[in-house]
Structure formats: structure tokens, C-alpha cells
């Protein structure tokens, strides 16, 4: 049977799968509809070159992945019945892993460093990955959320898996799960699917170590399906995700300590709230595990060198020390991690040691975009920090006020802007009160939407919150900021605006002629010799801003280059034009 295919586009490719039903029933042991459609296009020489075919596969993969997101109504229902839903998380993850052939016994063979925490867990993971890679290990790294491309969440040797690999692994897992589902709702949700996908990738790629960052909490997080991590870490704890984890530091700490496993050592940072530290000690004792507190970074032997980290801010000293303890333990005990014996070498745990050349190089060259990052473009300097808790906002302010004095360091006509958004149930009033102390000329509140019309195949599409709710929250932020301004005569003339998307906010900031809010652009901004923009409050906002700064980063197209484009390249190559623009500039 020959089909006339004069022109094949992405949507047509998928619709062809229905035609291929005629080739036989679909079920376990047979080809999936989507696989048949790709075979069809290959066999009948459709007019798609290889790059376009790859584009199609990747774009459809992201679109299908986004369909697994919970919509805003479902998210609200989950929050109301959080205990029931959360307790099923690990059981469901195990079920779906079994369906793709990964039993818990198989998963136990994966060498894992499991890291939880409220803030700093991503940075700690990045330090750990960098250290172990410099020591010659093949690393896997699973993190969330992504900034620009979903591929960032799954990395091999520090780089996101490329679009070809992502598409291959995605459809392998998705088709397997789709063909075995018992009903229409029997598919893992977005984060759960990505967790399963990451484990599949790490096992297939045969990594020496997988660094796994917890999503939310720990006790009921999907990643806690892991039964035998090599070592666990808990970064700084703070109040966050209160609708899910509880409203007190003790409740939140209980959830975070859920990653602790029997006879597996756990390390934490030294500047934990006392209430949190008490809970960590109690839970580690309950699980017959030893808790170690990381020493000050200054206490390690740096061989006479000055301490310099690839990530700036004093809080990174805590994260770097935690990472050193976790990495050192893993390297020391790597040979017997697969053994059932629990007599591991723990005599050095919690103590400073002499750093190797590999350790120092890894700490100095680690890259973790969106955290204390500086981007310079023409007369603009963007200060990007995904701070989203009260404590981290204060750390962000301390960093910004210090570094902004150096950029530019000449006496120029300067204009300062705050670009802010906040997601979830976080306390915006306290955060805005802290930011109010900064001397901004304009304050802009925007949703995390890059444009007003986001497509379903965009890496940054978010169905978890409605557009209307995002805009409403921005209006609430503006209302509270204006209320603060009424109490300060100096700031009554300050510009304070809301925007429906990041692109509109950028049109205003850059004084573009087609900006719908051009009438509100003040003369001082137009005539400014240099503009500083602090972007903070949400990692999703940071990702959107990076996409607007360089639109090619958000394009799903495969670039045809064998060199994998990553956020590491973006920071090091695209946005490092001045001596101030590296993430860890002192």
C-alpha cells in the first residue's frame, strides 16, 4: 500500500499514525502508533530532511511532556488533599519504573548522591557534580526546575542531554508507559515522568555517579523511591512550600529529612536553624543514620591560595563545604558502596581536609546559571538571582548592593530597575519590604510568560497556574509596593508598573518604539548612559529573561551542530563580555 505524501509537517506526521492502524493492532509487544509514523516517513521518503525530522521529534516530545502537567484546577485540589496525594507519590513512581523494566533492585545498583533542602540544594548539587567530574568520574545530574530548556534537568558530564538523545529516551519511556496504561489517567505527572526518565538515562548511560536533587520536600518526593543512596545531603532549611510541607520550620525539616536512609550517612550545612537541626538529629537517630555538620569552608587546607568559588555570595561557602563533604565521602567509599556491609570509613566525616587540585579547580569553575549571575549587553547589566525565600532574598540584596557598585565603575548617568515575580504561596509582602530598601528608579512586576501567546510545545509552558492568576498576583505586588511608597516621600515618584509578559517588560526597559507602554517610559530612562536591572523572585522568571535576552535559546529546533548547546556555554561564551559577567565574580 502506497500513500501519497506531497508534504509532511510536524502535525501531519503525528496524524499519519492513525493511518498506520491498518498495519495491525496496537498493544504490548507491537510498535506504538508514533513509532509507526516515523517508520512510515522513513520508508516513503517524505520531504523532511534529517534536521527537520529531529525538530519534529523534539518539539512533539516537549508538547507531549507538557500535556502531563497538572492544570491549575487540579493543582488546587491536590493542595487541599495533599497528604493523600503525597503519600502515593513513591508507590506510583515505583509502579511506573517497573513498567519500563526498572525494578527497585535495578535502581539500587545506581550510585546516587541524594540532596534535599529549601535553598542551595541545586548549587550544592552543581558543586558536587563539578568536583566528581574533575576527579574523572562519569556524572549524571538530575535537577529542577529548568531555566530555558527542559533538557537542562538531565545532564551527563555536566552537559544537558542533547535534543536527539532527549527525543530518543523520551519516546522510549513514553511509548512503554502509554501502551501499558490501565485507563486514560494512568500516566505519571510531569515531574514524576522526568524523574523516571532521568533514572532510565543514567542507567543506560552507565554513569559512575548520579547526583539527584529532590523536587519538593523529601519524604514523599518522587526521587525518594531511591532506597540505597551512597550518601545524602540536606542544604539550608527555610520556610517554603507551606501549603504542601507545613507552616513551621519543624514540619518542613521533617519532610526534608525524609531522604535519610538507614545506615547511610547524611551531611548538612552548619548554619541551620536550631529547631531544624534538632529535627534532623532526631530523624537520623530514628533511621539509624549518622548526621554530620559540614565545617566552615575557611577551615579546609587550600594550599595557601585565596578562596574563590565559581558562584558568588557567602551562602555559597556553606554549599561548597557541604559539597566537599559529600564528594569526599563518595570518593573514599566508592569501592565498597555496592557492598551490603555498613562498615564504611566515616572517621573523616564532618572534618576539614586538604583540597586536591581537582577540588579547587572544580569549585572555581562550577557554573550554575540564574543564581547570582550577571549578564552584560551593550548599555545594560542584568543581575539575575532566583531567590524565592525571605532569607535568600536578603542574600540576593546583599550581593546586588555590593556588586552593583562596580558595574559600571564610572560616574555615569545610571538608571536602576527591579524586575520581580513570585510564584506559589510565598509571602510577597516581607520580600517586597526587604527589596524596598534598595534605591530603584523603577519597579516592574511581570508574569513568567515570555510572550502573551505561549505554545504547547514551548519548554517554558506552564499549565499549573492560569495566566489570569499570574496577572492578578502581579497586580497585588504592585498594589503593595505603592502602599509602601506612600510612606516614603523619596519614592512617590518611582515608576511602578505591571506587564502581562516578560517581552512587554523588556520593550519598556529597552525603550522599544513598538512598546505598548511607551508613554510610561520616563525621560531619565531614555537618557540613561547605563541601566541596571535586578531580576529576582522566581527561577521561572530568570529562565524567561534568559530566553528574551537570546531568543535562540528557547527555540526547539535542532541546530544540526554536533556540539551540544548548554546553559554552561551560555554563561561562559555568550554572556561573558566583561570582567564582571561571570557568575562568581567577586
Residue 428: all three cell numbers together: 510577597
- Residue 236, class by beta-carbon neighbours within 10 Å (0-12 exposed, 13-18 middle, 19+ buried)? buried
Cα dihedral across residues 483, 484, 487, 492: positive or negative: negative
DSSP string, 313-326: STHHHHHHHHHHHH
> What's the per-residue H, E or C state across 485-546?
HCCCHHHCCCEEEEECCHHHHHHHHCCCCCCCCHHHCCHHHHHCCEEEEEEECCHHHHHHHH
d(CA 386, CA 388): 6
Q: Specify burial of residue 105 (Cβ count, 10 A radius: 0-12, 13-18, 19+).
A: exposed
Q: In the structure grid, which three cell numbers stand for residue 45, read together?
A: 521518503
* Short-list 215, 205, 197, CA closest to 96: 197
Q: Measured between alpha carbons, how far is 206 from 190 in angstroms, rounded to an integer? A: 24
Q: How far apart are CA 486 and CA 479, in angstroms?
A: 11
Q: Which of 451, 468, 445 is nearest to 536 (CA)?
A: 445
Distance CA 216, CA 240 (A): 10
* CA pair distance 385, 394, nearest whole angstrom: 11
Ligand-binding annotation for 298, yes or no, is no
| Cα–Cα nearest to 225, from 247, 242, 243, 200 | 200
Query: In sequence order, what are the beta bridge partners of 530?
Result: 414
Is 241 annotated as contributing to ligand binding? yes
Q: Measure the CA–CA gap between 426 and 416, rounded to whole angstroms.
A: 25
Which of 64, 14, 24, 103 shows the shortest CA–CA distance to 458?
Answer: 64
Half-sphere exposure of 451 (CA within 13 A, CB side): 10
221 is in an annotated binding site: no
CB contact set of 579 (below 8 Å; sequence gap of 6+): 585
Residues annotated within the binding site for ATP are: 371, 385
Residues annotated within the binding site are: 144, 213, 241, 371, 385
Residues annotated within the binding site for Mg(2+) are: 144, 213, 241
Amino acid at each position: 500500500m502506497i500513500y501519497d505524501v506531497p508534504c509532511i509537517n510536524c502535525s501531519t506526521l503525528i496524524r499519519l499514525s492513525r493511518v498506520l492502524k491498518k498495519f495491525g493492532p496496537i498493544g504490548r509487544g507491537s510498535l506504538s502508533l508514533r513509532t509507526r509514523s516515523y517508520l512510515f516517513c522513513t520508508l516513503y521518503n517524505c520531504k523532511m530532511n534529517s534536521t527537520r525530522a529531529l525538530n519534529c521529534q523534539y518539539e512533539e516530545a516537549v508538547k507531549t511532556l507538557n500535556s502531563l502537567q497538572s492544570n491549575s484546577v487540579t493543582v488546587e485540589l491536590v493542595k487541599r488533599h495533599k497528604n493523600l496525594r503525597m503519600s502515593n507519590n513513591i508507590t506510583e513512581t515505583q509502579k511506573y519504573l517497573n513498567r519500563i523494566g526498572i525494578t527497585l533492585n535495578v535502581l539500587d545498583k545506581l550510585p546516587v548522591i541524594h540532596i534535599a533542602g529549601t535553598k542551595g540544594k541545586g548549587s550544592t548539587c552543581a558543586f558536587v557534580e563539578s568536583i566528581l567530574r574533575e576527579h574523572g568520574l562519569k556524572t549524571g545530574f538530575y535537577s529542577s526546575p529548568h531555566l530555558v530548556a527542559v533538557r537542562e534537568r538531565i545532564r551527563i558530564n555536566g552537559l544537558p542531554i542533547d535534543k536527539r538523545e532527549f527525543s530518543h529516551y523520551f519516546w522510549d519511556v513514553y511509548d512503554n508507559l502509554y501502551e501499558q496504561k490501565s485507563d486514560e489517567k494512568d500516566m505519571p505527572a510531569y515531574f514524576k515522568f522526568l524523574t523516571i526518565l532521568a533514572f532510565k538515562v543514567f542507567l543506560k548511560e552507565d554513569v559512575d555517579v548520579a547526583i539527584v536533587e529532590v523536587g519538593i520536600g523529601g519524604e514523599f518526593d518522587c526521587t525518594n523511591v531511591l532506597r540505597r543512596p551512597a550518601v545524602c545531603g540536606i542544604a539550608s532549611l527555610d520556610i517554603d512550600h507551606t501549603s504542601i510541607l507545613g507552616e513551621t520550620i519543624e514540619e518542613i525539616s521533617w519532610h526534608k529529612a525524609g531522604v535519610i536512609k538507614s545506615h547511610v550517612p547524611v551531611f548538612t550545612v552548619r548554619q541551620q536553624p536550631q529547631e531544624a537541626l534538632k529535627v534532623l538529629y532526631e530523624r537520623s537517630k530514628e533511621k539509624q543514620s549518622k548526621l554530620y555538620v559540614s565545617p566552615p569552608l575557611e577551615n579546609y587546607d587550600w594550599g595557601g591560595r585565596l578562596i574563590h568559588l565559581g558562584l558568588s555570595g557567602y551562602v555559597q561557602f556553606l554549599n561548597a563545604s557541604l559539597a566537599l563533604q559529600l564528594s569526599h565521602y563518595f570518593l573514599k567509599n566508592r569501592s565498597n558502596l555496592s557492598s551490603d556491609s555498613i562498615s564504611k570509613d566515616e572517621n573523616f566525616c564532618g572534618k576539614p581536609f586538604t583540597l586536591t587540585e581537582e577540588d579547587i579547580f572544580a569549585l572555581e569553575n562550577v557554573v550554575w546559571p540564574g543564581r547570582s549571575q550577571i549578564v552584560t549587553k551593550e548599555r545594560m547589566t542584568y543581575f539575575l538571582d532566583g531567590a524565592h525565600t525571605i532569607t535568600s532574598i536578603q542574600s540576593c540584596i546583599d550581593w546586588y548592593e555590593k556588586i552593583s557598585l562596580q558595574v559600571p565603575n564610572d560616574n555615569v548617568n545610571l538608571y536602576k530597575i527591579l524586575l520581580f515575580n513570585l510564584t506559589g504561596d510565598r509571602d510577597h509582602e516581607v520580600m517586597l519590604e526587604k527589596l524596598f530598601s534598595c534605591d530603584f528608579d523603577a519597579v516592574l512586576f511581570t508574569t513568567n510568560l515570555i510572550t502573551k501567546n505561549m505554545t504547547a510545545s514551548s519548554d517554558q509552558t506552564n499549565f499549573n497556574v492560569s495566566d489570569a492568576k499570574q496577572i492578578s498576583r502581579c497586580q497585588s505586588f504592585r498594589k503593595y509596593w505603592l502602599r509602601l511608597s506612600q510612606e516614603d516621600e523619596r519614592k512617590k515618584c518611582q515608576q511602578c508598573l505591571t506587564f502581562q509578559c516578560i517581552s512587554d517588560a523588556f520593550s519598556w526597559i529597552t525603550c522599544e518604539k513598538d512598546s505598548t507602554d511607551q508613554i510610561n517610559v520616563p525621560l531619565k530612562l531614555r537618557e540613561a548612559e547605563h541601566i541596571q536591572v535586578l531580576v529576582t523572585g522566581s527561577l521561572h522568571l530568570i529562565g524567561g529573561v534568559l530566553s528574551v535576552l537570546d531568543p535562540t535559546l528557547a527555540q526547539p529546533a535542532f541546530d544540526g551542530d554536533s556540539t551540544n548547546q548548554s546553559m554552561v556555554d551560555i554563561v561562559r561564551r555568550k554572556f561573558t563580555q566583561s570582567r564582571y559577567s561571570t557568575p562568581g565574580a567577586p
